[in-house]
Structure 1
Amino acid sequence: MDRHGGSRPLLVFMRDRLLNILCFIMLIGLCCCLYMLENVRYPGLIETATMLYFVLLAVVVYAAWLSIDYMRQRYYFKQVNEALERSDELGAATIIQSLATEEQKLVTRLIREQHRAYLNELNKYRRQQEMHNHFVMQWVHHMKTPVSVVDLLIQEARRQPPAGEEGWLELIGSIQEETERQTRALEIMLHTARLDKFELDLHIRRTALHELIRSSVNAHKRLCIRYSIFPKIEGEAWVETDDKWMMFVMNQLISNAIKYSKQKPGVKTLLFRLYAADGNGSGIRLQVIDSGIGIAPHDLPRIFEPFFTGENGRATGESTGMGLYLAKQVCSRLGIGIGAESELGAGTTFTLTFQTRGIHVLDE
């Protein structure tokens, strides 16, 4: 036997049939005992040479059967040994091709199915790792921009200090805006890391959705004022959800609304509309309607894909392509439906649907 557990095919074959051979020997012995009893009872009924001939014939037939069975299965054992010797390779299980019995076919089928499931799981984790590495590199690149801007603002202020209180306030506001960008980027990175262990960071309770929206809007109040965006909440609703994860989703939607509305001149609105999803009030629907630049029709189906930035993201240079993807993932885990409609140049509407038993999706 080698270090991988393999051994010679003949030894494996014979060892696997020890019980069968033992039963054959016991059967021959029983026949001989019956012969001797009958010979005692009826002397001369059966000659000893006839009995020896019977025993010899039985042994020859049985040995011939074992030989044929071994010849039929020896290639299977050789391929199993070869697969064991190459067990460090992922494709070692595919070596086994010579299948003689139904049992071998079933076992080999099971091994291949397990091998396929293992490869699928391995590919999934590889994809997750590739996505994580890509996101980290993109996130680091994204973080360099606000850091560089803050550094330039400080250098400019040292070279030529702002004149008067208004100049200083403008400088402080610019630095604060860049630090807020860093904070949002750090929040995305933190929630990305927590998403893999979502069930360990979950606390479901009855939440006033309108109050949660108001808190998220207040966190973005300075930017809304700076870019003339006026939020408005219509309606009230209470839902069973995790307020921390829901706050993350709202922050992503509001950040996107501000990001793609600030480029438009004049006064913009950001409307949050709460209403019953159907007539009997068994569900709640939230619409987040902005007055931004909208999304191109060919980009709309892909906005929830990871790392997809679209025309708007490439134009502004501020998008990582992960915000809406993470929002979609969180909503899926909370049992919340999310969709989007948009008209290029007129604005975008995100719709969140809270079902009464939506959180039970976690049990699937």
Structure 2
Amino acid sequence: MKKEWMTLRVFLNDRISYLAAMLLMIVIFVVMMLLELNLYKGYVHPNTIIYYVLLALLCMIGWLVFDYVRQRDFYKELLAAVENMSELRDTLSLHTIVTSEQKLFFRLLQKMHTAYLNELGKYRRQQERHNHFVLQWVHHMKTPVSVIDLLTQEDKVDKRTVHPAELTGSIREENERLARGLEMMLYTARLDKFEIDLHIRRVALHEVARSAINSFKKMCIRHAIFPKIVGEAYGETDEKWMTFMLNQLLSNAIKYSKHKPGTKQLIVTLRKDKDKDSITVSDQGVGIAAHDLRRIYDPFFTGDNGRTEGESTGMGLYLTKQVCDKLGHELIVQSVVGEGTSVTIVCQSGGIHKLTS
């Protein structure tokens, strides 16, 4: 109620000159009528009415002139801003604000301007991140292309030194790297239209894990990594996006385990609780330093390990986190340097409804 009264008071305060002009007209009218009635004993001369009308018009014109002079500079600035605005900051170049309505409008304009700049900045950062990712992706894709080219050149130079099966296997390995890079690029582009490419249903997570591991079977054999699936679980999720996330986690697990000597294990553990199902990818790789853990979801952040691993893009966990957030899933990372890393995706009951909230 106080707010309404304050609004009314502000409204009347902006029209104080108009009210004063009306009050003056009323006072003049009353005085003239009293004088006329006293002079002519109950009779009002027609000239008196005409005289009063002329005085009222004069007061009205005087008020209009005063209000025009008072707000003229504001309208000039507003018109100049509309016609000559060339940059965003020109919208805030109003300095001769007079009324409370104008002040309130200017505050609204400032807030809209700030919100617009924030939204524009967000899209600019997204564009910069996208451009950075494209450049980095092209750089990484040049490596397998160059390797394939070298392998074919070696075969042409001396076929006796290159075994056909070995050559085919090497080319297939580089081709797989190209395919994974293309897949990451494709899914990154789809993130902007995530809701369009979405199909939620009850998914057998152990089957998705088995399929994902099969796609990395040759890499695991090559680097003496033994994968294992433990348990079964089902989750309300999108199978395609879940496969994409598991591919990112398995790729990271292999990437940061393959250089360790001896045999290594890669364990995918599935757990089923009352209100949530989870899938955990655990490796026996180099692990993540404690000071890097808080930044692992930042795009392009590779940390200490990424600087020594030439294939690292710093996008795997970032994309996985983005997809988890959109699906209403939880992502948990635990790691010990020199022992390995465990990454868990938790499909919480009802979490998927965040998509529509």
TM value normalised by structure 2? 0.86
- Note the aligned Cα RMSD (angstroms): 2.4
For 1:245, the aligned partner's letter is W
The question of 1:276 aligning with 2:272 is answered yes
> Could you tell me which residue of structure 2 aligns to residue 6 of structure 1?
none
The question of 1:237 aligning with 2:233 is answered yes
For 1:157, the aligned partner's letter is D
Provide the C-alpha distance between the structure 1 equivalents of 2:304 and 2:158, rounded to a whole number of angstroms: 37
Match of 1:303, SS? coil
> Could you tell me which residue of structure 2 aligns to residue 169 of structure 1?
165
For 1:46, the aligned partner's letter is V
The question of 1:227 aligning with 2:231 is answered no
Gaps of 5+ in 2: 1-17
My pick for the range that moved more, 87-96 or 127-136, is 87-96
> Could you tell me which residue of structure 1 aligns to residue 158 of structure 2?
160
Contact 2:144 2:174 in 1 (8 A): yes
> Could you tell me which residue of structure 2 aligns to residue 312 of structure 1?
305
Match of 2:182, SS? helix
How many angstroms does 1:43 deviate by? 9.7
Provide the C-alpha distance between the structure 1 equivalents of 2:317 and 2:159, rounded to a whole number of angstroms: 40
Provide the C-alpha distance between the structure 1 equivalents of 2:346 and 2:201, rounded to a whole number of angstroms: 17
Pairs within 5 Å for 1:1-364: 45-163=43-161, 167-277=163-273, 281-364=274-357
Provide the C-alpha distance between the structure 2 equivalents of 1:147 and 1:100, rounded to a whole number of angstroms: 68
Contact 2:297 2:321 in 1 (8 A): yes
For 2:215, the aligned partner's letter is A
Provide the C-alpha distance between the structure 1 equivalents of 2:50 and 2:90, rounded to a whole number of angstroms: 49
Deviations 1:19-73 (A, max 9, x none): x9xxx9xx99xx9xxx9xx99xx99712234323322221222222222222221
Contact 2:212 2:243 in 1 (8 A): yes
For 1:335, the aligned partner's letter is G
How many angstroms does 1:162 deviate by? 4.5
Deviations 1:180-227 (A, max 9, x none): 111110001000111110100000111100000000000100101111
Provide the C-alpha distance between the structure 1 equivalents of 2:205 and 2:182, rounded to a whole number of angstroms: 25
Match of 2:70, SS? helix
My pick for the range that moved more, 155-164 or 55-64, is 155-164
> Could you tell me which residue of structure 1 aligns to residue 12 of structure 2?
none
For 1:308, the aligned partner's letter is F
**Number of residue pairs matched by the alignment:** 327
Match of 2:257, SS? coil
Provide the C-alpha distance between the structure 2 equivalents of 1:260 and 1:322, rounded to a whole number of angstroms: 15
Provide the C-alpha distance between the structure 2 equivalents of 1:71 and 1:254, rounded to a whole number of angstroms: 74
Contact 2:257 2:264 in 1 (8 A): yes
Provide the C-alpha distance between the structure 1 equivalents of 2:158 and 2:216, rounded to a whole number of angstroms: 30
For 2:210, the aligned partner's letter is R
Contact 1:162 1:168 in 2 (8 A): no
For 1:260, the aligned partner's letter is Y
Gaps of 5+ in 1: 1-19
Contact 2:233 2:278 in 1 (8 A): no
For 2:62, the aligned partner's letter is A
Contact 1:84 1:92 in 2 (8 A): no
TM value normalised by structure 1? 0.84
For 1:136, the aligned partner's letter is V
For 1:236, the aligned partner's letter is E
Structure 1: 4+ residue segments shifted above 4 A: none
Deviations 1:256-311 (A, max 9, x none): 0011100001110011111235xxx1111222110001112121111111111112
Match of 1:306, SS? coil
Match of 1:258, SS? helix
Contact 2:81 2:93 in 1 (8 A): yes
Match of 1:350, SS? strand
